[in-house]
Structure formats: C-alpha cells, structure tokens
Chains A and B, each alone.
Chain A
Amino acid sequence: DAGITQSPRYKITETGRQVTLMCHQTWSHSYMFWYRQDLGHGLRLIYYSAAADITDKGEVPDGYVVSRSKTENFPLTLESATRSQTSVYFCASVTGGNSPLHFGNGTRLTVT
C-alpha cells in the first residue's frame, strides 16, 4: 500500500549511542520532514528536505543529522543520544502547493 512508513516503532537506547530512525514514503513526494513530539510542546520541526540532496534545519536541529540520497527515504540519526532526546518522532511528507502533510505513525524513542 502507498504511504509513509517509520521504523522502528519503538526503540530503547543508551546515552551516547548512535541511533538511526528510518522513514520511507511511496508517493514520491518532494518534501519530507522530521518532527519530535513532547508533552506541552506540540510538534517541533527538527529537519526538512525539499528534494533529494537538499536538507535544511528546523527549529530544534542540534544533536541530529539527516540525509536524503533518494527521494523516498529520509533517515534521522542521533549521533550521540542524550536523555533529552527521549521523545516521539514523526516523519511527514507533502507533494507541494497547499496539500496537507501526511504523517507516519511515529517512533517512540527512549534514551536511558
């Protein structure tokens, strides 16, 4: 089925470890986004990408790295995880114009 898939759904990691969250979409949407959701903060933009090989920082990019070598994939890497990065991470994509964002089901990350 067409859609946007995030993996894993749940991840527990230790402080200092590197972890990568995966995002794959089947629509060939140009734009992709990574948000984190924390209680009381709603969703905050980490990074976004307008096309393959084009990425830009959002509101809270520190401690995160992204890449987009292929249009359909937009992985998010925590280079050295910290407890403050415990959160639910959502990937989203949109084709353009005034189309709405389509969200994945999220990855719940716990950093111990």
Chain B
Amino acid sequence: AQSVTQLGSHVSVSEGALVLLRCNYSSSVPPYLFWYVQYPNQGLQLLLKYTTGATLVKGINGFEAEFKKSETSFHLTKPSAHMSDAAEYFCAVSDSYKRQLTFGSGTQLTVLP
C-alpha cells in the first residue's frame, strides 16, 4: 500500500521568499512521485515528476523537488515566491504498475505582498 503525507495544510510566505512544501511517502515498490498544482475552479496541472535517474527534478514555473530515498521525502521548493504561485499543491505517489496515483491531502500556499 502507498501513502503520502503533506506536512502543513496551509503555508504562507512573503513574495520573494523561499517556498518549501513538504511531502513524505511510503511505498513498497520503487515509487514514481509527482507534484501537481490546482488553481481555483480548475483541475490539477503537473508541476514535475520523478521516475528514475536524477534525484533533483526541475519543473515548470521555477519549481524543483529532490527525491531522498533515505528520508522517503520529495519536498517541493522554489527560491523566490511570486503572487501567481498562490494555489493548492498536491504530492502524489504511483507504483508505476497500476498507473493510479495516491494523493496527499494538499497544501494551500498563500503568498503575501
């Protein structure tokens, strides 16, 4: 069975500050890991994904995440927050065989001017 834990249901940062959204996972097989973003009244959009290879993954809009197997973590970061980054962010894990994703409960990011 797989599970995802996102620490902090709400995170607030000032514009220009570092964004750090935490994600820990559990999986009995090598995981595929994803971060999705959801803007109000919209579906989820893929930010980035880790499958195999390089553990530091770069995504869209300046976001990146590092897969740390020893810590079972896949935290999302962005060096400098922008007002347009305000949204809900979901971490998800897949076992790659069934293609289905297991999602965390989400983190609402607020960017303060």
Residues of A in contact with B (beta carbons under 8 Å apart): 31, 33, 35, 40-45, 48, 50, 58, 90, 92, 94, 96, 98, 100-101, 103-106
When distances are taken between beta carbons in the complex, the residues of chain B under 8 Å from A35 are 103
Contacts of A33 in B (CB 8 A): 100-101
Interface membership of B90, Cβ < 8 A: yes
The residues of A that contact B46 with a CB separation of less than 8 Å are: 100-101
Whether B99 and A103, one on each chain, are in contact in the complex, defined by CB atoms closer than 8 angstroms, is no
Q: Are B43 and A98 in contact (CB under 8 A)?
A: no
Q: A42-B90, A43-B90, A98-B51 are in contact. Are A58 and B100 (CB under 8 A)?
A: yes
Which residues of B have CB within 8 Å of A96? 99
Which of B's residues lie within 8 Å of A, judged by CB? Answer: 4, 6, 9, 32, 34, 36, 41-46, 49, 51, 90, 96, 98-106
A42 touches B106 (CB 8 A): yes
Given contacts A33-B100, A96-B99, A100-B46, contact A40 B105 (CB under 8 A): yes
A79 to B11, CA, bound (A): 39
Interface-central residue, B44, B45, B99, by most chain A CB under 10 Å: B99
Chain A residue at minimal CB-CB distance from B90? A42
Residues in B whose Cβ lies below 8 Å from that of A43:
44, 90, 101, 103
Q: Report yes or no: B49 in contact with A90, Cβ–Cβ below 8 A.
A: no
Q: Are A103 and B44 in contact (CB under 8 A)?
A: yes
Please measure, in the bound complex, the distance between the C-alpha atom of A35 and the C-alpha atom of B90, giving whole angstroms.
14
Do A98 and B49 contact each other (CB < 8 Å), given the known contacts A40-B9, A90-B44, A103-B44?
yes
Q: Are A105 and B99 in contact (CB under 8 A)?
A: no
B100 in contact with A48 (CB, 8 Å)? yes
Docked pose: A45 CA to B99 CA in angstroms: 12
Q: Please report the C-alpha to C-alpha distance between residue A106 and residue B44 in the assembled complex, in whole angstroms.
A: 9
Q: Do A98 and B101 contact each other (CB < 8 Å), given the known contacts A104-B43, A105-B42?
A: no
The distance in angstroms between the C-alpha atoms of A29 and B106, with both chains bound, is 26
Q: A45 CA to B1 CA in the complex, in Å? A: 14
Task: In the A-B complex, list the 5 residue pairs whose CB atoms are closest, starting with the nearest.
Answer: A103-B43, A42-B103, A98-B51, A42-B105, A100-B46
- How distant is the Cα of A94 from the Cα of B6 in the complex, in angstroms? 24
Q: How far is the CB of A87 from chain B (nearest CB, A)?
A: 14
